[in-house]
Structure 1
Amino acid sequence: MKENIAAVSRWVIVLVGIPAAMYLGKTFLVTFFVAIVLAMVFSPVKDWLINKGLSRGWAVAACTVLLLLFFAGMGGLLYYQVSLLAQDLPQMEQKASEIFNSAQQYVDRRFGIAPDEQTEKASQVVSNMGTYAAVFFGSFTSTLANFLLMFAYFVLLLSHRREIEIFILRCVEPGRKELAHDLIYEARDTASQYVWGMLKDIAALAVIYCIGFLIGGIKYPILLAVIAALFSFLPYIGNIIGGGLAAVLAALSGDPSAFLIVVGVMTIAQLIENYALSPLLVGNAVGLNPMFSIVSIIVLGGIWGIGGAIVALPLTGILRVIFKFSPHTLPVVELMGDDAS
């Protein structure tokens, strides 16, 4: 009887307690786990710099500067491109108004809903969006603080990586220390290979998008290519969101046919990415089958929002590596993995 109660209690903790703790602590946990993934990504870079003669402190500082330069470069590129787009903002607003009026007339003819009634319903939606925008703005104002905290965690994790590794090994039985050591580096390589592979994949996608948009005569090809490619970091649904946003911006800043051109370019690019770029640059770095990949994105995205969806695959891949340590969880490793892993 006691054993049954203990088993039920464990399942309650796993299925209810852990998700509840993740949700309640998401403000801290999202930032912290992003820092963990980034520290794993830059850990090989740190080792390479130390092998080249730098001290540990200077190697950590160099990795931090590289990460800062990456974010600054992406932010500067987007800011410059958006500043160019702002010059056409009045024309885009006028065109959006024309499209909205045409849509109102179509709905009136097709469904018999008068434009005044449509406007009233649209006003209700806008009012709700204003509430969401206020919430978003409140979150946005804390983004800088979270960003700085992420860098603090990143520096601390990278600086004390060796101490953390020693602590983990000391908690392991003597006969399993070698396995634990190998799994630590396998987890690091899982996160590192996935993130670096995704960055190369996104860069290649951005180049393909930009070339296609230039050939198609789309305005602001660099901005739209970067926007569409960056959303690819959000697995599965990112291409739809980024592509839709790029297509709408292209239609508003140019001819209506630009929408179809962008969709056509992205469709061709996605075929190239799915069958050539992704297998070559990313492969299956996390070792997850499609079912667990999708489930991890949905679950972590639901608990932690966009940040959770972005780090879902590397974190779940790391969790799969951790499960290899215990014989009791090896069946779960096989369940989570694909046929090739």
Structure 2
Amino acid sequence: MRIPVQKQLKWWGIAAAVLLAVMWLLGQAILPFILGAGVAYLLDPVADRLERAGLSRLMSVVVITVGAVLIFAAVILLVVPVLIRQAAALIETAPQMIEQGRAFLSARFPDLLPAGGTLGTALTDLGRAMGEHWSNIAQTVLSSVGGAISAIAILVIVPVVAFYLLLDWDRMVAKIDSLLPREHAPVLRRLSREIDRALSGFVRGQGLVILILGTWYSIALMLVGLPFGFFIGMMAAILSFIPYVGVLIGGATAIGVALFSFWSDPVWIGAVIAIFAAGQVVEGNYLQPKIVGGHVGLHPVWLLLALSVFGSLFGFVGMVAAVPLAAGLGVLARFAIEMYRESALYTGQGVPAQAETPLLVEIAPRGTVAAELRKARQDADRTLAAVHDEARLTGTQSAGAPPPGRD
């Protein structure tokens, strides 16, 4: 018997509530496993490609693991120390730059920042606060990140989980497919493909865009001699997943530092502006359309909303899971809209009732049924008479026969 739709929705709602409750209660405990699953998901296409090249699944995973460990070690040893050092130096220098900018505006545009005005006082207080408390701010940020992601989880649990999940990824997907409800399996497979297309297109495509932009901004800013250029370039690239936010924040920071450092040489200020203009042109006209594409379905506003909501509900775990959850919810929302447009609520027309099995009626000439009935009665009478004759004949033969045992 088919399960009613209301009951099915009830069970699916309970499953979703259990998932959210697990994320809320066991967030920090399951964070390494979520990160490991994300790493395995991102690297599965690479493993499939190595398999098609002739390697076994185990050897493909081993090659990927060795390469990932080497890249991770290089980033930790070479890139992270530079980023931390330049970020600390920029925070330390920021009060001086803010004070110089305030003095410049006060001298050139006295009406904009009057003495004792609100804006001028706010800038002065901001510079003083940053100068006094920058070390505390950095320490708080680092301690928060350290509390969310322990070194053991990053260096041990995440690679191990990613290794085993990547090794059994195809079998795991096949097993999950075999457990899908048979009635809804085609629809669930279709939704899963759309979620995978949206998620992989955004994460892998946007990751490649960030890598390209980060390399361009960092190297170009360092070549022009901009202080803290490496950190500013990487910051602008990482924020580029939100259109215009990365170039605005990174560009404003870079131009501000350039004005502070190259005030007497405006050529280099123009060079910094040209670097960000070129990066924006290349990103908007080539990188985003060609690499990420327009079929992803993750609108920046929707992504920001997901990061904000899931981050506030589940902390750092929610921020990590925000992108896949946003992709899944976006696909489900489009599917719900599609179902709504096909429903009677949208069309204003009731769903036609299912047609019953047609009744076959044979049309025969008049008198055919009566003739068939007469023929059937005649056949029955003949059969009954034959039975009586056979019984009578059998009784006569029995009466004329000698008794058994006598000659």
TMscore range, shorter length? 0.5 to 0.7
> What's the CA shift for 1:201?
1.2
- 1:296 equivalent in structure 2: 306
Moved more, 267-276 or 302-311: 302-311
> What's the CA shift for 1:172?
1.9
> What's the CA shift for 1:42?
0.9
- 1:100 equivalent in structure 2: 99
Whose relative contact order is higher, 1 or 2, with alpha carbons under 8 Å and at least 6 apart? 1
- 1:48 equivalent in structure 2: 49
TM-score (norm 1): 0.68
CA contact (8 A) 2:27 2:317 kept: no
Moved more, 14-23 or 236-245: 14-23
In structure 2, list runs of 5 or more residues that go unmatched. 1-6, 107-112, 341-407
Q: What SS class does the counterpart of residue 281 from structure 1 fall into?
A: helix
CA contact (8 A) 2:95 2:130 kept: no
- 2:344 equivalent in structure 1: none
Distance 1:10 1:235 in 2: 39
Identity %: 22
Q: Give per-residue Cα distances to partners, 1:276-311, cap 9 Å, x unaligned.
A: 321111113532345533432332343455775565
Distance 2:243 2:59 in 1: 35
- Output the aligned Cα RMSD: 5.0
Corresponding letter in the other structure for 2:145 = S
TM-score (norm 2): 0.59
User: Is the aligned partner of 1:35 residue 2:36?
Assistant: yes
Say which structure is richer in helix.
1
* Residue 161 of structure 1, aligned match among 154, 165, 169: 169
Corresponding letter in the other structure for 1:100 = E
Corresponding letter in the other structure for 2:96 = S
Distance 2:103 2:16 in 1: 47
Larger radius of gyration: 2
Corresponding letter in the other structure for 1:52 = A
Moved more, 278-287 or 187-196: 187-196
- 2:202 equivalent in structure 1: 194
> What's the CA shift for 1:268?
4.6
Moved more, 197-206 or 70-79: 70-79
> What's the CA shift for 1:175?
6.0
Q: What SS class does the counterpart of residue 109 from structure 1 fall into?
A: coil
Distance 1:185 1:120 in 2: 49
CA contact (8 A) 1:286 1:314 kept: no
CA contact (8 A) 2:94 2:130 kept: no
Moved more, 271-280 or 7-16: 7-16
CA contact (8 A) 2:226 2:257 kept: no
Q: What SS class does the counterpart of residue 286 from structure 1 fall into?
A: coil
Distance 2:161 2:182 in 1: 30
* Residue 158 of structure 2, aligned match among 150, 155, 159: 150
CA contact (8 A) 2:306 2:322 kept: yes
CA contact (8 A) 1:209 1:225 kept: yes
Corresponding letter in the other structure for 1:279 = P
User: Is the aligned partner of 1:331 residue 2:336?
Assistant: yes
Distance 1:288 1:120 in 2: 36
Distance 2:15 2:138 in 1: 32
* Residue 240 of structure 2, aligned match among 232, 245, 251: 232
> What's the CA shift for 1:194?
2.6
CA contact (8 A) 1:296 1:313 kept: yes
1:240–1:24 CA distance, 2 compared to 1 (3 A): farther
1:93–1:75 CA distance, 2 compared to 1 (3 A): same
Distance 1:245 1:120 in 2: 16
